[in-house]
Amino acid sequence: MSATSTTRQSRPAETVAGFLAAAAIFVSLAGVAYRPLRLIPFAILLSLVAVGIGGRSERLATYAVSISAACFAIGLAVAVITSHPLW
């Protein structure tokens, strides 16, 4: 083995962070259609935990935070415009 090998073992926490970020994106998109104040804050919390874990899926977690924040605003606007309940 050479000393310049750049292969890196991923930690299990990094894999979990990727799944958390993907779940946060799914839950926030579902929250736009269902109940935004029930689902989207949970999705924002999931995405912030994924960012905190970091690792190789840090960019996906950052996108998850952005998507969750945008879905929060869009979900509340859609619920108010269509007279659906917020929670």
Give the separation between CA 18 and CA 6, rounded to whole angstroms.
21
Give the separation between CA 45 and CA 24, rounded to whole angstroms.
8
Give the separation between CA 70 and CA 1, rounded to whole angstroms.
47
- In a 13 Å sphere around the CA of 74, the CA atoms on its Cβ side amount to 13
Give the separation between CA 75 and CA 72, rounded to whole angstroms.
5
Which amino acid makes up residue 35? R
Q: Map out the domains of the chain as residue ranges.
A: 12-81
pTM for the model stands at 0.84
- Per-residue confidence (pLDDT) for residue 6, from 0 to 100: 64
- Per-residue confidence (pLDDT) for residue 2, from 0 to 100: 55
Q: Residues 51, 65: contact at Cβ < 8 Å?
A: yes
Neighbours of 75 (CB within 10 A): 25
- The band of 17, judged by pLDDT with boundaries at 50, 70 and 90, is very high
Over residues 38-72, the pLDDT tens digits come to 999 999 999 999 999 988 889 999 999 999 999 99
